[in-house]
Structure 1
Amino acid sequence: MPSTRFSAAAAALLLAGCATAGRDRAPSAYQGPPISLATLTTATQILSSDAFEGRAPTTPGEEKAVSYIAEQFRKAGLQPGNKGSWYQNVALVENTASPSALTIAGGSGPLSLAYRTDFVANTYQVQKQVQLKDSELVFVGYGINAPERGWNDYAGLDVRGKTVVILVNDPDWQDQDLNGRFGGKAMTYYGRWTYKYEEAARQGAAGALIVHQTEPAAYGWNVVQSSWTGAQYNMDDPNGHMDQSKVVGWLTQDAAQRLFAASDKDLAALTAAAARPGFKAVPLGTRASITLDNQIKRSNSRNVIGILPGAKRPNEYVLYTAHWDHLGRCDAVGGDDICNGAVDNASGTAGLIALAEAHAKRGNADRSIVFLAVTAEESGLLGSNYYAQNPVYPLSQTVGGINMDSLSLSGDARDFVAVGGGKSELDAYLDTALEAHGLKLRPEPAPQAGYYYRSDHFSFAKQGVPMLYAKLGNDLVQGGTAAGEAAQAQYRAERYHGPNDEYDPAWDWSGAVRELQIYWQIGRALATGDAWPNWKQGDEFRAIRDRSRAGATGQ
């Protein structure tokens, strides 16, 4: 099976116009149709307007968003991507929980923790009320069971009916290199909160509470608070997710310290112990009680799908993805309770529309190009997971793809970053495109944040499809690395997942245009070539892809 082999046409497309980088600005080697700045600004402004109410799934804001995206796909020249329809229904269950206080009994005295300020809690179980009553608390360190890495925080432990308290990230997250048992400072999937709840449920825990710390989590408590309060969504399930823990949630670090003190334990000492091999879980000698009254609503959300059919091999597919949803109504800041999601991810959705326009203007490629705007990313990658489990186009026939989650809006830069780089043979396509633009590929600046496991490309990677998630770096043409890092820090602290993520007419779109030019070139090279990029040898997704492709056509 071909791997990094390029066709002559694809290589020529990527290298067309190659020039040497200037001192102050990378050259434009782009030879495709123009990326429309008007499309980018207009679509981002419309999708993030207050009229769309933050684009929460199953709300009137969704109806406006998906209708707008479908109409823009139609105007761009795409065809409906799902048997004559622009939409793929995604069955969701919505739960709005009203938690009581979290009370702790035993130890040195009773403790009552307040919802939102001390903890957040929810449930995956589809029940009008769930309750923990005097559930024994057990500290399970990082809550990891990874036999292939010689690590099991649940070894010899029975947590059925109990509530586990878990640390965020991996045991070696404070390492300065990438050589640790869990990748050093690079977060693995074991460090993600989603994994920790999954493992707690597999172990039979009735409750699972993660201790929040800003550095290992890679975001502040405000992000947890805004993301975990209000309506929460999950894929609908015939069994009502009764195999999951009754209660899942987060504790602030301060609340956790008070909990451990009430349990006559030292959180700092136990945290240090949990990072060492051979750690044994520690019963806290206290009991947790909480009640969640839930409002439950079942409904359909929608993915939006457009396709530019292939001229020669229409049954082989190249994929572009971006999520259209955001948080809807959220905790108010200065009286504003709409989380507009302008950067995250109205900008990426606008980029998807602009790429559809550019590809359609160039005309049909050899392979089909699919443009997929997915729902409920903010609720746990639900829309992309649904498509990956119920694909409209066979994943065995999907060559690979590119995901866009927030475009760069601080101006053009001299470098590019591949999130989770080094995993697949798509890296060769990125390298060639960057060389043509005179851009340097930089190491991922925050591998500890685990970004590869936090957006929609991961849903397809888990099913074996090679997916690229790469974006412009922080070495800005205007201001250098200092300006780029400052812009990123300001966004994370003041705008991310909050009402301040609003459209700004002062944004510099030159960096976003550069990103989309590179995405166009890579997608077009894949669509005009005949190679089937794979994951690199030893990658966790390689075997899945090999099995998927074994019986496929187009070898």
Structure 2
Amino acid sequence: MSWKNLILCLSMASIILSCNSKEKNFKFAIDSISGNDLKAHISILASDEFQGRAPSTIGEERTIRYLEEQFTKIGLQPGNGDSFFQEIPLVKISADKQMKFKIKSNKGEYNLIFSEEFAGGTPQLSSEVSFDNSEIIFVGYGINAPEHNWNDYQGLDVKGKTVLMLVNDPGYATSDSTLFEGRTMTYYGRWTYKFEEAARQGAKAAIIIHETGAAAYPWGVVQGSWTGAKFYLADDMLSKSELYLQSWFTTECAKRLFEGSGLDYDRSVSSASVRGFKPVKMNMSASVKIENKVEYIKSNNVAALWPGKKISNEYLIYTAHWDHLGINPMFGEDSILNGALDNATGTAALLEIAQAFTTLAKIQDRSILFLAVTCEEQGLLGSEFYALNPIYPLDKTVGVINMDGLNIFGRTKDMTIVGMGRSTLDGYAQSVLKKYGRYICPDPTPEKGGYFRSDHFSFAKVGVPTLYLSKGIDNLIEGKEWGLAKSENWIKDNYHKPSDSYDPEIWDTKGMVEDVRVYFEIGYDIASSK
């Protein structure tokens, strides 16, 4: 053998050994993500000791200290200078549950019962808020969307008045693909938009009629979220507006009011989804009195950094919200909302993925920020605050991978991209899943507006590429129908209720482990791509 051939053979052998070593190293990192570790983190984060992880409580203190301790133990650096915390100024408004809500019509008066018939409160920073005889107007879906040639407020002055509206948008109601995005909910269907638009229009009060299908959750979820304290960013636009009340009515309550106005409820609802709808004066007025406890508080995002090597001034962010709903006496003896699936699972995944990156002998090119955000349950406030006050420049942030409510129902052939087609990162997910003989599917229930309901959306709004990859439904053994039904039943029975607790006897976390490994590999590919 000539020297040239010998050198060539040695070079080839070196390359093969290097590739094998890289693959072996990567496999070690992947395999380090274990079900036992995930379950250990979940069992702690969702324990009664953490009291439901409500912001600005002892539950928050225990949660963020646990995350700080774990990130330090793993070997990550503080993500905000010399601190793991990004402090967020908030306003907490706790309304008296004896608040008075009176509806007056020609046929008499209705004194509504808090929690049973209506829920809500005020965004105003005042110890007492009241108004009398505010005219009620049914404004359909309460949408002003020029790009869809739709304006429910056109030619209407609602200053000082009470607007009553439907949840979701006209496309959902009609399944007409020419209206908005058909059955797929747009941002105009979300309650956050509807209250903000009512405030922009100058309304005194805004009421959304709850309907389980259109809202994507039962009245019990509204009770759990809207009968306790509400949080706002310190400079929230609603607090600066003339909107005194943001509220929800049950469908039954709304039907009574329409009947009292001499209006057919079903016909009125149907007319609201027809282009050219005209608002309807209900010949009723609303009077409200609310006593509040207003507190200026702070909560924290938790940020941990794993620096990159070649392009360390560019960043990939993994997000998961650590917060849940705390303690709500309305639920009786078992009043702690532990938030095991929502979102101790995603927070545990954040820790496991961080640990996996530290086991790589070859560090990824870009830096990775592990961001556990607060106040997701209050309207994505923690992620919104970061997006408006980024620790690292947004123009140097190559992407966000969001994890929220992971798989507890076993292995699946697929994973779901919520908002598929909206991001340049979709291809990374498709590539990794294909490698493992799995596939991507679009959101099976786009009418629920999931794309607008988790923390990636705060980053998408400011132009950062995002990936909200969620659990699949095509169960390896039972199939798609079973998987979707399992997920739907869980939401109906457990979402935002004390029953969202960790149960090792029922939970099947094998699929969760596989999904978390996918999150890790997608992040590695993005952090290492050119």
Question: TM-score per shorter chain, which class?
Answer: over 0.9
Q: Which of 38, 41, 59 matches 1:40?
A: 38
2:199–2:238: 8 Å Cα contact kept in structure 1?
no
In 1, distance between residues paired with 2:324 and 2:127? Answer: 25
- RMSD of equivalent CA atoms: 1.9
Q: What's the offset of the Cα at 1:483? A: 2.9
Greater fraction of residues in helix: 2
Q: Contact between 1:173 and 1:448, CA under 8 Å: does it hold in 2?
A: yes
Distance of 1:489 and 1:376 partners within structure 2: 24
* Alignment gaps of 5+ in structure 2: 1-18
Partner of 2:475: 476
Per-residue CA deviations over 1:457-511 (Å, capped at 9, x if unaligned) read 0000001001101123111113222331232122111111000011111211111
SS at match of 1:452: helix
Equivalent residue, structure 2, for 1:183: 181
CA gap 1:416/1:239 in 2 versus in 1, 3 angstroms: closer
User: Which SS does the other structure have where 1:477 is aligned?
Assistant: coil
Q: Which residue of 1 aligns with 2:366?
A: 367
Q: Larger relative CO (CA 8 A, sep 6+): 1 or 2?
A: 1
Q: Is the 8 A contact 1:263 1:286 kept in 2?
A: yes
Find the residue that maps to 2:119 and give its secondary structure: strand
Q: Is the 8 A contact 2:414 2:472 kept in 1?
A: yes
- Aligned counterparts of 1:244 and 1:352: Cα–Cα separation in 2: 40
- In structure 1, C-alpha distance between the alignment counterparts of 2:472 and 2:172, rounded to whole Å: 23
The total of aligned residue pairs comes to 507
1:240–1:79 distance in 2 versus 1, CA, 3 Å: same
Distance 1:411 1:495 in 2: 18
| 1:50 is the counterpart of 2:25 | no
Who is 1:392 aligned against? 391
1:549 is matched with which residue?
A: none
Q: Is the 8 A contact 2:46 2:344 kept in 1?
A: yes
Q: CA deviation at 1:31?
A: 7.0
**Aligned to 1:416, what secondary structure does the other structure show?**
strand
CA distance in structure 2 between the partners assigned to 1:288 and 1:511 by the alignment: 50
Aligned with 1:327 (options 325, 328, 339): 325
Separation (CA, whole Å) in 2 of partners of 1:125 and 1:467: 33
Where do residues 135-214 of structure 1 align in structure 2 (5 Å cutoff)? 135-176=134-175, 179-214=177-212
CA drift at 1:328: 0.3
What secondary structure does 1:121 align onto? strand
Of all paired residues, the percent bearing the same amino acid is 47
Q: Which residue of 2 aligns with 1:20?
A: none
The question of whether the paired residues in 2 share the 8 Å contact of 1:332 and 1:499 is answered with no
- Does the Cα contact within 8 Å between 2:346 and 2:403 map onto a contact in 1? yes
Q: Deviations over 1:61-107 (max 9, x none)?
A: 00000000111111111100000100000111101001523211123
Distance 1:53 1:78, change over 3 A: same
Instruction: Determine the structure 1 residue equivalent to 2:11.
Output: none
The alpha-carbon deviation at position 417 of structure 1 amounts to 1.1
Matches of 1:239 and 1:269 in 2, distance apart? 34
Report the CA distance shift for 1:523/1:483 in structure 2 as closer, same or farther (over 3 A).
Answer: same
Once the two structures are superposed, residues 215-257 of structure 1 have per-residue CA deviations (whole angstroms, 9 ceiling, x without a partner) of 0100000000000111111111288822151100100000001
Distance in 1 (alpha carbons) for counterparts of 2:81 and 2:434 = 39
Q: Show CA shifts across 1:251-286 (max 9, x none).
A: 000000111111222221111111000001111111
| Alignment CA distance shift 1:206-1:332 (3 Å) | closer
- Once residues 229 and 45 of structure 1 are traced to their aligned partners in structure 2, the CA distance between those partners, rounded to angstroms, is 27
* Structure 1 counterpart SS, 2:55: coil
Q: Which amino acid aligns with 2:455?
A: D
Separation of aligned partners in 1, 2:236 and 2:396: 30
- Give the letter for the 2:200 counterpart: R
Whole-angstrom distance in 2 between the partners of 1:317 and 1:515: 22
For 1:497-536, what per-residue CA distance to the aligned partner results, in whole angstroms no more than 9, with x for missing partners?
0000111112111111111111111100111112xxxxxx
Please say which of residues 328-337 and 511-520 is displaced more in the overlay.
Answer: 328-337
Find the counterpart in structure 1 of residue 3 from structure 2.
none
SS in 2 for 1:328: coil
Q: For residue 6 of structure 2, what is the aligned residue in structure 1?
A: none
Change (3 A) 1:238 1:181: closer
Structure having the higher Rg: 2
- Hey, what does 2:78 align to over in structure 1? 80
